[in-house]
Amino acid sequence: MTKLSVNINKIATLRNSRGGNMPNVVKAAIDIQEFGAQGITIHPRPDERHIRYQDARDLKSVVYTEFNIEGNPVKKFIDLVLEVKPTQVTLVPDAVDAITSDAGWDTIKHKSFLAEVISEFKRNGIRTSIFVDPVVKMVEGAKETGTDRIELYTESFAAEYEKGNMDGIKPYTEAALAARKLNLGLNAGHDLSLENILFFKENIPGLLEVSIGHALICESLYLGLENVVQMYLAKLK
């Protein structure tokens, strides 16, 4: 079975657009878990444009499934993760001004930095994962850092799938087989959706967890709109 960890960044984006606390990200996390998701993911960014550092602290007491915090391990992020102690930390090499994550780590170039950060998290009982492109050398480099898992960056798979190119899965299957050979746990995420998730899952051996946010929240809007419009109309008769 592959676990679904719902990324709630986009719920925070909506909240922040008006100030106030609607929608409430803590309530959303509680509900999402009650609906059956096996994890909650957040990706606080340095500008706190969606999930804020305080959200991570507030979520700690309500997330009873897997709590996954993603981000670039700058000092402020490391301190937050060590304070909150989630189930898993996923290291992502984001530029400060990145709109969203757009690449995996070069695990060869940054091996000693990653190894140092990973050992600190593991000393504190936090499972570690490194965000990587589907490149066997990067998977092998990740193993050298001592990480428990990798997260495959699935943007290119999703883009190729949308164009109808099913071969876009090939590097991911190869990377997954390399991870299995090295006894590395395997997660995946970015631009996964109701459209592409089944094909991805069927072609990726050993997929432990996917984290999905942007598409899942958009799909929730589309699939919920009819119901809510009908509820308003019933009150306005």
Ligand X SMILES: CC(=O)[C@@H](O)[C@H](O)COP(=O)(O)O
Ligand Y SMILES: NCC(=O)COP(=O)(O)O
Within 68-127, the residues that bind ligand X by CB under 6 A are 70, 92, 100-101
Cα–Cα distance measured from residue 109 to residue 120, given in angstroms and rounded to the nearest whole number: 19
- Number of continuous H segments (helices) and E segments (strands) in the chain: 10, 8
- Report the residue number, 162 or 228, with the smaller CB distance to ligand X: 162
43 binds ligand X (CB under 6 A): yes
Partner that binds at residue 215, options ligand Y, ligand X, none, CB closer than 5 to 8 Å by kind: ligand Y
Which residue among 7, 33, 72, 129 contacts ligand Y (CB under 6 A)? Answer: 7
Give the binding-site size for ligand Y (rule: CB under 6 A): 14
Query: Closest approach of Cβ 234 to ligand X, in Å?
Result: 34
User: CA-based angle 233:35:31, to the nearest 5?
Assistant: 75
Residue positions counted in the chain: 237
209 binds ligand X (CB under 6 A): no
SS3 230: helix
- Report the residue number, 19 or 94, with the smaller CB distance to ligand Y: 94
Cα–Cα distance measured from residue 81 to residue 79, given in angstroms and rounded to the nearest whole number: 6
Within 107-146, the residues that bind ligand Y by CB under 6 A are none
The tokens for 194 are: 């109701």
Cα–Cα distance measured from residue 197 to residue 195, given in angstroms and rounded to the nearest whole number: 6
Query: Closest approach of Cβ 7 to ligand Y, in Å?
Result: 4
Give the binding-site size for ligand X (rule: CB under 6 A): 13
